Amino acid sequence: MVNITGILDLSQIPQDQFDPKFELRVAVVRNTTVLASATLSPTASARQILFEVAFEPPILAPARLPCPVVLLVGPNVGDQELQSLETLRYEVDLRATAQPSVAGGGGIDVGRLQVSAALYGRWLVICRTYTIHGRAVCHQWQYDAATGRWGFCDAPVPGARVEVYDVDCFLWWCWRALITSAVTDINGNFTITFRWCCPGWRPWLARNWSVDPDIFGRIRPC
């Protein structure tokens, strides 16, 4: 097990631009795979945050020393979104930094990682908080005892799971990932609040692409 420690410095961000509710994430990545990460919650009074990420160092046999990893600092989003955004990157060569201790488990201090005001401002622009309100109903044919007539009514559906997905499509290939979910109350109502960042188009980061049958069904031979 290896621990990477350091200080995330947000002192360059102006006070009117700083958002104390904007959580950040420090992740250790190797070949588009997030090995481990830590969530940081800055405050208005604490602009320099200590962080620590513990992970198993990747070693490719027959090598004895671990492979280098990349430290990514960005908004607190999912693995794929974090790698698609513009982030603060710091490469950590585990072999050159502490060969004896890392091979058997140890720690590495990367020092101070400073986030510029320009990079932080771009994070605030592309990352927004969204709230979705709705109601799940079932259109039923029901008898109204008050009027003595049959008619349609929208009966609430309590306990239903409502999911929000990120969907990307290229030609007839589509990929989707679950963002968050909620359960309807006794009246069928639900409220979902989540922070979402609009990442760059990097389809190689998305896994499990599948054919969309509705789009593919419209294709006809020439």
Q: Domain with 22 in it: what CATH number?
A: 2.60.40.10
Mean pLDDT of all residues belonging to the chain: 83
What is the pLDDT at residue 63?
65
Q: Mark which of 126, 154, 184 sits at the end of a domain.
A: 126
Residues 110, 143, single domain; the answer is no
- Looking at residue 140, what is its pLDDT? 83
Amino acid identity, residue 81?
E
pLDDT top residue among 146 and 190 = 190
> Do 50 and 132 belong together in one domain?
no
Which CB contacts under 8 angstroms, 24+ apart, belong to 200-203? 200/84, 200/85, 200/86, 202/83, 202/84, 203/168, 203/170, 203/175
| Structural domain contains residue 210 | yes
Domain span including residue 176: 128-216
pLDDT confidence of residue 105: 53
30 and 116 both lie in a single domain? yes
Q: What number is the average pLDDT over the span 108-112? A: 90
Q: What is the per-residue pLDDT for 180?
A: 87
Give me the percent of the chain exceeding a pLDDT of 90: 35
Of the chain, the percentage scoring pLDDT greater than 70 comes to 88
- Taking residue 178's Cβ as centre, other Cβ atoms within 10 Å add up to 10
What is the value of pTM for the model shown?
Answer: 0.68
pLDDT of residue 102: 44
Domain assignment of residue 221, yes or no: no
Is residue 179 within 8 A of residue 194, CB to CB? The reply is yes
183 and 119 inside one domain: no
- Binned at pLDDT 50, 70 and 90, residue 137 comes out as very high
153 lies in some domain: yes
Do residues 119 and 136 share a domain? Answer: no
89-116 average pLDDT score: 73
| Number of structural domains in the chain | 2
Examine residue 222 and state whether it is found in any structural domain, yes or no. no
Residues 137 and 94 in one domain: no
Q: What is the pLDDT of residue 207?
A: 65
pLDDT tier, 100 (very low <50, low <70, confident <90, very high otherwise): very low
Distance CA 168, CA 175 (A): 5
